[in-house]
Amino acid sequence: MLTDPIADYLTRIRNGLQAEHEEVVIPASRLKREMSRILKEQGYIADFATEAGEKGEVLRITLRYTEERDPVISGMERVSRPGRRRYVANGDVPRVLGGMGTAIVSTSSGVMTGHEAKKKGVGGEVVAYVW
């Protein structure tokens, strides 16, 4: 049993990029699907799809690289962990690398980027940073 499935999600993507794989397969959940949607909208991954696996559904994420075969994602960091949750108010939503990165925030209005959360005036749990 995994104690932190979001950290596992980020680690599988990080390892796939380091090994230069075309795609990675990750056990699916609603939060992971929403995080994948955000990563695709922000241009960090090429595509994702939900498929039936041996035990439940899996996410098949197609990774994205530059023309020189460098990963588009240069870093990912888990912010709110099971042992130390990190919540922010609507005015305190963090900027990642001065706005060059993306903060993924789980709010009462759904999972969204930090920029969208600021725009809508909602706070929530900061799940991860991607840059």
* Partners of 30 in beta bridges: none
| CATH entry, 5-63, from 3.30.70.1400, 3.40.309.10, 3.30.360.10, 3.30.1370.30 | 3.30.1370.30
Torsion 122-4-130-26 (CA) sign: negative
- Domain locations along the chain: 5-63, 76-130
Q: How confident is the model at residue 1 (pLDDT cuts 50, 70, 90)?
A: low
- For 18-43, the pLDDT digits (tens) are 999 999 999 999 999 999 999 999 99
**What H or E segment, with its residue span, contains residue 85?**
none
- Rounded alpha-carbon distances, angstroms, from residue 67 to 39, 40, 64, 71, 130: 19, 18, 10, 10, 20
Same fold, 5-63 and 76-130: no
Rounded Cα–Cα distance for residues 131 and 124 (Å): 20
Rounded Cα–Cα distance for residues 52 and 73 (Å): 27
Q: Does domain 76-130 have CATH number 3.30.1490.10?
A: yes
